[in-house]
Structure 1
Amino acid sequence: MNMRGWQAIVLAVTGVVLTASCGYAAASYSAEIPQEELVGTWTSSAGTSLTFSKEHTFSGTGFDKVEALGCANPETLSNGRWAFYVGPKGDVTHPDETATRGNDLELSFTEDPTCTVWVYLYGDAEDPSMCPTQDPDDGCSPGGYLRRDEAPSHS
C-alpha cells in the first residue's frame, strides 16, 4: 500500500475515534430527568428564562440570547410546546409528548411553527442544567446553560 493509502486509513480511523469519543462524552454528562423535575422555571445568566408546565407547554423570554436557536426573529418568540425525545431502545428519533422522562427535549414555538430547538440536559438528576444546542458535543455558549430557579414542582 502506498503512502496516500495509509494516510487515508489513518484519517478515517482518527475521525471514527473522535466521533465516538465525543458521543460518549455527551452521553456520560447527560442527565435523564422525569417530567415532574422539568416542570418549573429555568434561567440562564445570559437572560433567557423558560417556564415548563406539566401540560407540555412552555413560556419564556430572552430567546434572542440563545445562540443555537437559529430561528428568524427570536425576539418575537415567547411560548410553545415541549416534548422529550424518544426512540426504539432509547435512541433519539423523535419528540413524543407521552414520554415521561428523558435527557433531551424539543421546543416548538407557537409564533413560528417552523422553529424548533433541541435542548440537551446535562449534569445529573439531582442538579441538571439544560443547553439549547444543535449538537450536544459542541456544548453551550457562555451564559447559555439554563438551571432550575427553584425546587421542582411535584404536583
Structure 2
Amino acid sequence: MRGWRAIVLAVTGVVLTASCGYAAAIHSAEIPQEQLVGTWTSSAGTSLTFSNDHTFTGTGFDKVEAMAGCAHRETLSTGRWAFYVSPEGNGSIVPDETATRGNDLELSFADDPGCTVWVYLYGHFGDGEDPSMCPTKDPDDGCPAGGYLKRDEAASHS
C-alpha cells in the first residue's frame, strides 16, 4: 500500500509542476481586434480604452505591478498597442500593429518610450467569449489581486 501512495504522490507532484508552467497557455484567449477595442477596467482602479487605430488611453497605471520599472508611471496615460505575432513561425514573438488578433499584446507609452508592458489575454480554458487581461512580466506567475481588467460593456457601447 505504501508503494502506491508514493507513486500517486510522485505523479501528482509532476502533474502540478508541469501544469503550473502551462497555466498561461491553457487559459490563453485569442481575441480579434474588434473585441479588444473598447474600455477595460480592473477592481484596483486601472482603466484602459483601446482604439482601432492602435492607440490607447488609460488611468491608474501606478497600480500596475508590471510597470514598477517605468518612470513616473502615475503620469502615463497614452500610447500605442499591438498584438504579438510570430512572423517566422519559430516561436519568437514581436509586436505587430498589422495583426488583427492575438492572445497577448504590448503597450508602449508616448511619454516614456522605454516603458513597454506585456498584456496577457485570459479566458476560461481559452474561451474568448468573456476574456480578461492582465499586464504582467510573466503570465505563468498569474495576475496580482485586483490586476485583471475586464471589458466594460457599458462604456464600450456608449
Settle same-fold status: TM greater than 0.5: yes
Which range, TM-score by smaller chain? Answer: 0.7 to 0.9
More strand by share: 2
Shift in Å at residue 90 of structure 1?
7.6
Distance 2:59 2:128 in 1: 25
1:91-148 CA deviation, whole Å, 9 max, x = no partner? 3511000000000000000010000000000012100000000000111110000000
Q: Percent identity?
A: 77
Where 1:54 maps in the other structure, the secondary structure is coil
TM-score, normalised with respect to structure 2: 0.81
Alignment check: 8 A CA contact 1:85 1:92 kept: no
Residue 26 of structure 1, aligned match among 19, 24, 27:
24
1:126 to 1:92, Cα distance in 2 relative to 1, 3 A: farther
TM-score, length of structure 1 as denominator length: 0.82
Corresponding residue number in structure 2 for 1:114? 114
AA at the equivalent of 1:102: G
Q: Could you say what secondary structure the match of 2:29 adopts? A: coil
CA contact (8 A) 1:60 1:78 kept: yes
CA distance in 2, matches of 1:63, 1:74: 6
3-state SS in 2 of match to 1:27: helix
The answer to whether the 8 Å contact 1:34/1:102 transfers is: yes
User: In structure 1, what is the Cα distance between the partners aligned to 2:103 and 2:92?
Assistant: 10
Structure 2: state its 5+ residue gaps: 1-12
Where 2:153 maps in the other structure, the secondary structure is coil
**Unaligned segments of structure 1, at least 5 residues:** 1-13
User: Greater shift after overlay, 133-142 or 22-31?
Assistant: 22-31
- Residue 82 (structure 2) pairs with residue 79 (structure 1): no
Report if aligned partners of 2:39, 2:156 keep a CA contact under 8 Å in 1.
no
* SS of equivalent residue, structure 1 residue 72: coil
User: 2:26, 2:154 → 1: CA distance?
Assistant: 24
Match of 1:58 among 38, 56, 72: 56
Looking at structure 2, the residues matched to 92 and 146 of structure 1 have their Cα atoms a distance apart, in angstroms, of 26
